[in-house]
Amino acid sequence: MGTHCLRLRALRCVSARGLPAQPQCKPRVVLGIETSCDDTGAAVVDETGKILGEALYSQKEIHLKAGGIIPPVAQRLHKEHIERVVQEAVDNSGVSPCELTAVATTVKPGLALSLGVGLEYSLKLIEQYKKPFIPIHHMEAHALIIRMLHLVEFPFLVLLVSGGHSLLAVARGVSDFLLLGQTLDEAPGDTLDKVARRLSLRNHPTCCTMSGGEAIEYLAKIGNRLHVELTQPMSQHLDCDFSFSGLRNQVNQIIIKKEREEGFQEGQILSCVNDIAAAVQHTVAAHLAKRTHRAILFCKKEGLLPQPKPALVVSGGVASNEYIRKALRIVTEANGFSLRCPPPKLCTDNGIMIAWFSKPWNPADRQ
């Protein structure tokens, strides 16, 4: 299997030693700002991982109505809400802006127009309050938020699954990732969002305000996956990469056929919508679990993880999915791995993970 080093490191403007010393041992506090996609998030977190204040504005409903994220619309909504969101997080924290140790902001990857809003706003803040700026890599923040909640030692295996990414890597240290596999086409969250759109779930009375992934999980609960036949992606590929676009094409064909059978037009909710959701969710879960299993076997063979009790960390929006977690638990338990997933609120985009990841002052974290 081909592996290569993934340097996810964003340009770091301050070093561990570059941050101001804290008088009287008061924990240092960072304001984190996230605007990489369609969530405007902010949080004030101290170096012990205590969340002092947080706020989040989700643009989800507007994009659901529009049938997808339109970058200039996302940019405008970030601009309209960033001030209020940051203000709310700071006010709730009881920390005055002057007391902040630094401002940390997502700088990549993401939608350029969305990222620009967070960056511009942060630069104004650091200028106004004369604070250091810490640029943050969004995926690194997803990968390491687990360490705010549990003591997970490096190195560990990490599966990051969101609307923009699908990757398996060995996290060897902060900003040091060995990439084992990634998606060859689209990310699983993107696939679930597109399937939900094609199923016209914005017209569904219960699911109309849910993200595609949430809606599929909700509908799948009472669906029978065996009623819809889907082929597993990449079953012949002996590596840890992912592919989801073929699955989406299969589902589209099935939907077209069912619409014809039911005499429906696109826009109406099919009677078999729960079965389709269950089959798609199962196929995504099985694909993620199989590739993760391959990565576990590879790590064992190469001695890349500590024994006993190596860990698999799963994060990103799609990691909120209980069915997918269950599938991964089967694989981890069978292989002597512990499975660590942040709570759903910390799996999806938020300012907390950005503030937490900016914690560069503890030398133990850098190992």
Beta strand 29-34 pairing with 39-46 = antiparallel
Q: Which is nearer to Zn ion, 155 or 317 (CB)?
A: 317
* List 211, 349, 356, 357, residue binding Zn ion (CB under 5 A): 349
**Considering only CA atoms, which of 56, 27, 59, 78 is closest in space to residue 351?**
56
The single-letter DSSP state of residue 16 is G
* Site map 127..166 versus Zn ion, x via CB under 5 A: -----------------------------------x----
**Considering only CA atoms, which of 23, 174, 10 is closest in space to residue 104?**
10
Cβ proximity of 190 and 346 under 8 Å: no
Q: What whole-number distance in Å separates Cα of residue 299 and Cα of residue 301?
A: 6
Taking CB under 6 A as the criterion, which residues in 295-324 touch ligand KG4?
316-318, 320-321
> Three-state DSSP class for 35?
coil
In this chain, which stretch among 4-12, 146-154, 185-193, 231-239 interacts with ligand KG4, using CB under 6 A? Answer: 185-193
Q: Which is nearer to ligand KG4, 93 or 281 (CB)?
A: 281
How many residues at the interface with ligand KG4, by CB under 6 A? 20
- 158 - beta bridge partners? 169, 313
Taking CB under 6 A as the criterion, which residues in 112-141 touch ligand KG4?
none
Q: What whole-number distance in Å separates Cα of residue 102 and Cα of residue 99?
A: 9
Is 39 a binder of Zn ion (CB under 5 A)? Answer: no
The single-letter DSSP state of residue 105 is E
Is 348 a binder of ligand KG4 (CB under 6 A)? Answer: yes
In this chain, which stretch among 169-177, 206-214, 289-297, 330-338 interacts with ligand KG4, using CB under 6 A? Answer: 206-214
Q: Least distance in Å: CB of 349 to Zn ion?
A: 4
Q: Least distance in Å: CB of 256 to Zn ion?
A: 31
What is the CB neighbour count within 10 angstroms for residue 93?
23
Q: What is the DSSP string of 316-329?
A: SGGGG-HHHHHHHH
Binding site for Zn ion (CB under 5 A): 162, 349
Binding site for ligand KG4 (CB under 6 A): 37, 162-164, 189-190, 192-193, 211-214, 217, 316-318, 320-321, 348-349
